[in-house]
Structure 1
Amino acid sequence: MRSRTRKLSLIAVGVVAATFLGTAAAVAAPAIDNGWPYASAAKAHDDKAYTLAAVGDIACEPNDSDNAGNPAALKCGSPSLGGYAAEFATAKQADAMKPDAVALLGDEQYQVGKLSDFEGSFEQAWGGLKFLEKPAPGNHEYYSYTKKGDNEAGQNGTGYFAYFNGHDQSGAPNTSGQAGDDTSANQGWYSYNLGNWHIISLNVECNSAAFNNDCSTTDNGLLAQETTWLASDLKSNRQECTIAYWHQPTFSATTAATSTVAASAPGAGGQEGQVADAWWKLLYADHATLVLNGHEHAYAHLKPMNPDGQYDPKHGIPEFIIGTGGEALDTLAKNADGSFANSNVVTGYDQGYGTMKLTLKEHSYSYSYTPALAGAGQPASALNYSDSGSGECK
Structure 2
Amino acid sequence: MLLSLVLLAGLLVGPASATAAETLLSQGKPSTASSTEEASLGPAAAFDGDLSATRWASAEGHDPEWIQVDLGTVTPISRVKLTWEAAYARAYQIQTSPDGVTWTTVHTTTSGDGGTDDLTVTGEGRFVRMYGTARGTSYGYSLHEMQVYGGGTPGGPDYQAENATLSQAGVAANHAGYTGTGFVDYVNTVGGYVEWTVQAATAGPATLTFRYANGTTAARPLAIAVNGATVDRDFPGTGAWATWSDVTLTATLKAGANIVRATATGATGGPNLDKLTVGASSGGETFVVAAAGDIAEQCTASSSSCVHPKTANVVRSMNPEFVITMGDNQYDDARLQDFTAYYDKSWGAFKNKTRPSAGNHESYDPAGFEAGYKSYFGPIAFPNGKSYYSYDRGNWHFVALDSNLFDQSAQINWLKADLAATDKRCVAAYWHHPLFSSGEHGNDPVSRPVWQILYDRRADLVLNGHDHHYERFGPQNPNAQADPNGIVEVLGGMGGASPYNIENVQPNSQKRLSGTFGVVKLTMGDSTFSWQLIGVDGQVKDTSPTYTCH
After TM superposition, the structure 1 = structure 2 runs for residues 275-290 of structure 1, keeping only pairs within 5 Å, are 275-290=446-461
After TM superposition, the structure 1 = structure 2 runs for residues 116-195 of structure 1, keeping only pairs within 5 Å, are 116-143=337-364, 153=366, 155-165=368-378, 177-181=379-383, 183=385, 186=386, 188-195=387-394
Contact preservation (8 Å) 1:26, 1:129 = no
1:257 has 2:441 as partner: yes
Higher helix share: 1
Structure 2 residue corresponding to 1:28, chosen from 221, 235, 251: 221
Contact preservation (8 Å) 2:452, 2:478 = yes
What residue is the counterpart of 1:52 in the other structure?
Answer: 289
| In structure 1, distance between residues paired with 2:337 and 2:219 | 23
How far apart are 1:180 and its partner, in Å? Answer: 1.8
| In structure 2, distance between residues paired with 1:159 and 1:303 | 36
What residue is the counterpart of 1:358 in the other structure?
Answer: 522
What residue is the counterpart of 1:174 in the other structure?
Answer: none
1:211-254 Cα offsets, whole Å, 9 max, x none, are xxxx53xxxxxx21100000000000011100000000011120
Which 5+ residue runs of structure 1 have no aligned equivalent? 1-22, 32-38, 64-75, 145-152, 166-176, 207-214, 217-222, 259-267, 335-340, 375-382
| In structure 1, distance between residues paired with 2:286 and 2:218 | 17
Tell me the secondary structure at the aligned position of residue 473 of structure 2. Answer: strand
Q: Using a 3 Å threshold, how does the CA distance of structure 1 residues 181 and 195 change in structure 2: closer, same or farther? A: closer
Higher strand share: 2
Q: Which runs of 4+ in 1 moved over 2 A?
A: 23-31, 39-48, 383-389
Tell me the secondary structure at the aligned position of residue 327 of structure 1. Answer: coil
Residue type at the aligned position of 1:191: S
1:12-58 Cα offsets, whole Å, 9 max, x none, are xxxxxxxxxxx997463879xxxxxxx94467758431111110100
Residue type at the aligned position of 1:190: Y
Residue type at the aligned position of 2:522: L
1:330-363 Cα offsets, whole Å, 9 max, x none, are 01125xxxxxx21311001112210011111111
Contact preservation (8 Å) 1:57, 1:295 = yes
Residue type at the aligned position of 1:292: L
| In structure 2, distance between residues paired with 1:328 and 1:29 | 37
1:315 has 2:485 as partner: yes
Larger relative contact order, structure 1 or 2 (CA cutoff 8 Å, min sep 6): 1
| In structure 2, distance between residues paired with 1:30 and 1:281 | 37
Aligned residues: 283
Contact preservation (8 Å) 2:521, 2:534 = no
Contact preservation (8 Å) 2:334, 2:362 = yes
1:236 has 2:407 as partner: no
How far apart are 1:194 and its partner, in Å? Answer: 1.0
| In structure 2, distance between residues paired with 1:25 and 1:97 | 15
Tell me the secondary structure at the aligned position of residue 374 of structure 2. Answer: helix
What residue is the counterpart of 1:292 in the other structure?
Answer: 463
What residue is the counterpart of 1:200 in the other structure?
Answer: 399
Contact preservation (8 Å) 2:334, 2:364 = no
Residue type at the aligned position of 2:370: G
1:95 has 2:316 as partner: yes
What residue is the counterpart of 1:389 in the other structure?
Answer: 545
What residue is the counterpart of 2:160 in the other structure?
Answer: none
Residue type at the aligned position of 2:469: A
Q: Using a 3 Å threshold, how does the CA distance of structure 1 residues 181 and 327 change in structure 2: closer, same or farther? A: same
1:281-325 Cα offsets, whole Å, 9 max, x none, are 11101111100001110000011110111111x211010000000
| In structure 1, distance between residues paired with 2:498 and 2:231 | 38
Residue type at the aligned position of 1:356: V
| In structure 2, distance between residues paired with 1:30 and 1:344 | 42
| In structure 1, distance between residues paired with 2:510 and 2:400 | 25
| In structure 2, distance between residues paired with 1:179 and 1:371 | 27
Tell me the secondary structure at the aligned position of residue 300 of structure 1. Answer: strand
After TM superposition, the structure 1 = structure 2 runs for residues 76-95 of structure 1, keeping only pairs within 5 Å, are 84=306, 86-95=307-316
Q: Using a 3 Å threshold, how does the CA distance of structure 1 residues 286 and 182 change in structure 2: closer, same or farther? A: closer
| In structure 1, distance between residues paired with 2:317 and 2:218 | 7
Contact preservation (8 Å) 2:327, 2:360 = yes
| In structure 1, distance between residues paired with 2:468 and 2:218 | 26
Query: Could you tell me the percent identity over the aligned residues?
Result: 31
| In structure 2, distance between residues paired with 1:44 and 1:239 | 15
Structure 2 residue corresponding to 1:330, chosen from 480, 500, 508: 500
| In structure 1, distance between residues paired with 2:450 and 2:490 | 16
How far apart are 1:369 and its partner, in Å? Answer: 0.9
Q: Which of the pair has more CA radius of gyration?
A: 2
| In structure 2, distance between residues paired with 1:25 and 1:307 | 43
Contact preservation (8 Å) 2:467, 2:500 = yes
Tell me the secondary structure at the aligned position of residue 474 of structure 2. Answer: strand
Structure 2 residue corresponding to 1:349, chosen from 497, 513, 521: 513
| In structure 1, distance between residues paired with 2:400 and 2:359 | 12
How far apart are 1:61 and its partner, in Å? Answer: 2.1
TM, length-normalised to structure 2: 0.48
Contact preservation (8 Å) 2:314, 2:534 = no
Tell me the secondary structure at the aligned position of residue 345 of structure 2. Answer: helix
| In structure 2, distance between residues paired with 1:117 and 1:29 | 30
Contact preservation (8 Å) 1:204, 1:247 = yes
| In structure 1, distance between residues paired with 2:457 and 2:223 | 25
How far apart are 1:181 and its partner, in Å? Answer: 4.5
1:125-149 Cα offsets, whole Å, 9 max, x none, are 11111111000000000136xxxxx
Residue type at the aligned position of 2:373: Y
How far apart are 1:276 and its partner, in Å? Answer: 1.5
What residue is the counterpart of 2:412 in the other structure?
Answer: 227
What residue is the counterpart of 2:534 in the other structure?
Answer: 370
How far apart are 1:155 and its partner, in Å? Answer: 3.8
